[in-house]
Structure 1
Protein backbone atom coordinates (compact mmCIF):
# COMPACT_ATOMS: atom_id res chain seq x y z
CA UNK A 1 0.00 0.00 0.00
CA UNK A 2 1.39 3.41 -1.00
CA UNK A 3 -0.31 6.64 0.01
CA UNK A 4 0.36 10.33 -0.32
CA UNK A 5 -0.71 10.87 3.29
CA UNK A 6 2.19 11.48 5.66
CA UNK A 7 0.58 9.88 8.71
CA UNK A 8 -0.42 6.22 8.53
CA UNK A 9 -0.85 4.66 11.98
CA UNK A 10 -1.40 0.93 12.44
CA UNK A 11 -3.59 -0.26 15.29
CA UNK A 12 -6.24 -2.72 16.41
CA UNK A 13 -9.98 -2.10 16.26
CA UNK A 14 -11.15 -2.18 19.87
CA UNK A 15 -14.78 -1.16 19.47
CA UNK A 16 -17.35 -0.46 16.76
CA UNK A 17 -20.47 1.53 17.57
CA UNK A 18 -22.84 1.03 14.67
CA UNK A 19 -25.39 3.69 13.81
CA UNK A 20 -28.13 3.86 11.19
CA UNK A 21 -25.86 5.58 8.64
CA UNK A 22 -22.41 5.97 10.23
CA UNK A 23 -20.33 3.92 12.64
CA UNK A 24 -17.70 5.00 15.17
CA UNK A 25 -14.51 2.96 14.96
CA UNK A 26 -12.17 3.01 17.96
CA UNK A 27 -8.63 2.11 16.86
CA UNK A 28 -6.07 1.43 19.61
CA UNK A 29 -2.50 2.31 18.66
CA UNK A 30 0.63 0.83 20.22
CA UNK A 31 1.09 2.43 23.63
CA UNK A 32 -2.64 2.50 24.32
CA UNK A 33 -3.64 5.72 22.55
CA UNK A 34 -7.05 5.44 20.87
CA UNK A 35 -8.12 7.21 17.68
CA UNK A 36 -11.80 7.43 16.80
CA UNK A 37 -12.99 7.54 13.20
CA UNK A 38 -16.50 7.98 11.88
CA UNK A 39 -17.13 6.08 8.66
CA UNK A 40 -20.21 5.07 6.74
CA UNK A 41 -21.97 1.79 7.43
CA UNK A 42 -21.15 0.83 3.83
CA UNK A 43 -17.42 1.40 4.50
CA UNK A 44 -17.55 -0.87 7.57
CA UNK A 45 -19.02 -3.63 5.41
CA UNK A 46 -16.74 -3.03 2.39
CA UNK A 47 -13.59 -3.07 4.55
CA UNK A 48 -14.91 -5.99 6.64
CA UNK A 49 -14.09 -4.07 9.83
CA UNK A 50 -14.38 -6.18 12.97
CA UNK A 51 -13.29 -5.79 16.58
CA UNK A 52 -9.81 -7.28 17.03
CA UNK A 53 -8.84 -6.76 13.38
CA UNK A 54 -5.80 -4.64 12.49
CA UNK A 55 -6.42 -1.46 10.52
CA UNK A 56 -4.69 1.80 9.65
CA UNK A 57 -5.63 5.35 10.58
CA UNK A 58 -4.64 7.43 7.57
CA UNK A 59 -4.46 11.13 8.36
CA UNK A 60 -4.00 13.82 5.75
CA UNK A 61 -4.74 17.41 6.59
CA UNK A 62 -3.63 20.62 4.98
CA UNK A 63 -4.39 22.60 8.12
CA UNK A 64 -4.53 21.81 11.80
CA UNK A 65 -6.14 24.52 13.88
CA UNK A 66 -5.31 25.09 17.56
CA UNK A 67 -7.24 27.09 20.14
CA UNK A 68 -6.65 28.23 23.71
CA UNK A 69 -8.85 29.67 26.43
CA UNK A 70 -8.08 33.23 27.49
Structure 2
Protein backbone atom coordinates (compact mmCIF):
# COMPACT_ATOMS: atom_id res chain seq x y z
CA UNK A 1 0.00 0.00 0.00
CA UNK A 2 1.30 3.47 -0.92
CA UNK A 3 0.02 6.51 0.92
CA UNK A 4 0.47 10.25 0.58
CA UNK A 5 0.31 10.73 4.36
CA UNK A 6 3.73 11.46 5.81
CA UNK A 7 2.93 10.79 9.44
CA UNK A 8 2.47 7.05 9.91
CA UNK A 9 2.70 5.69 13.44
CA UNK A 10 2.61 1.98 14.26
CA UNK A 11 0.96 1.00 17.52
CA UNK A 12 -1.38 -1.33 19.38
CA UNK A 13 -5.04 -0.84 20.15
CA UNK A 14 -5.45 -0.35 23.91
CA UNK A 15 -9.18 0.30 24.08
CA UNK A 16 -12.29 0.54 21.92
CA UNK A 17 -15.54 2.21 22.93
CA UNK A 18 -18.34 1.43 20.49
CA UNK A 19 -21.23 3.86 20.21
CA UNK A 20 -24.39 3.80 18.10
CA UNK A 21 -22.61 5.26 15.05
CA UNK A 22 -18.94 5.82 15.91
CA UNK A 23 -16.13 4.03 17.72
CA UNK A 24 -13.44 5.68 19.85
CA UNK A 25 -10.20 3.78 19.32
CA UNK A 26 -7.18 4.37 21.54
CA UNK A 27 -3.76 3.38 20.16
CA UNK A 28 -0.47 3.27 22.08
CA UNK A 29 2.16 4.51 19.61
CA UNK A 30 5.04 4.52 22.14
CA UNK A 31 5.28 3.48 25.79
CA UNK A 32 2.80 5.71 27.61
CA UNK A 33 1.93 7.71 24.47
CA UNK A 34 -1.71 7.30 23.45
CA UNK A 35 -3.48 8.53 20.36
CA UNK A 36 -7.28 8.54 20.15
CA UNK A 37 -9.23 8.33 16.91
CA UNK A 38 -12.96 8.54 16.25
CA UNK A 39 -13.96 6.33 13.33
CA UNK A 40 -17.27 4.94 12.17
CA UNK A 41 -18.58 1.81 13.83
CA UNK A 42 -18.73 0.22 10.37
CA UNK A 43 -15.02 0.96 9.77
CA UNK A 44 -14.12 -0.48 13.18
CA UNK A 45 -15.97 -3.68 12.31
CA UNK A 46 -14.53 -3.82 8.78
CA UNK A 47 -10.97 -3.49 10.11
CA UNK A 48 -11.75 -6.17 12.69
CA UNK A 49 -10.24 -3.99 15.41
CA UNK A 50 -9.74 -5.47 18.86
CA UNK A 51 -7.60 -4.65 21.88
CA UNK A 52 -4.02 -5.79 21.29
CA UNK A 53 -4.19 -5.66 17.49
CA UNK A 54 -1.30 -3.90 15.75
CA UNK A 55 -2.47 -0.97 13.62
CA UNK A 56 -1.15 2.08 11.84
CA UNK A 57 -2.34 5.57 12.75
CA UNK A 58 -2.00 7.99 9.85
CA UNK A 59 -2.34 11.75 9.95
CA UNK A 60 -2.47 14.24 7.14
CA UNK A 61 -3.29 17.86 7.72
CA UNK A 62 -2.45 21.19 6.18
CA UNK A 63 -1.89 22.74 9.61
CA UNK A 64 -1.37 21.93 13.26
CA UNK A 65 -2.68 24.27 15.94
CA UNK A 66 -0.68 24.99 19.10
CA UNK A 67 -2.18 26.52 22.25
CA UNK A 68 -0.93 27.79 25.60
CA UNK A 69 -2.53 28.94 28.86
The TM-score, its normalising length taken from structure 1, stands at 0.91
Measured in 1, the distance between the counterparts of 2:31 and 2:14 equals 14
Q: Does the residue aligned with 1:45 lie in a helix, a strand or coil?
A: helix
Measured in 2, the distance between the counterparts of 1:36 and 1:6 equals 18
More strand by share: 2
Partner residue in 2 for 1:31: 31
Unaligned runs of 5+ in 2: none
Q: CA RMSD in A?
A: 1.0
- Give CA deviations for 1:6-51 in whole Å, capped at 9, x if unaligned: 1000000010001000010000112220000000000001111111
Asked if 1:9 corresponds to 2:9, the answer is yes
Partner residue in 1 for 2:59: 59
Unaligned runs of 5+ in 1: none
Aligned length: 69
Q: Max radius of gyration: which structure?
A: 1
The TM-score, its normalising length taken from structure 2, stands at 0.92
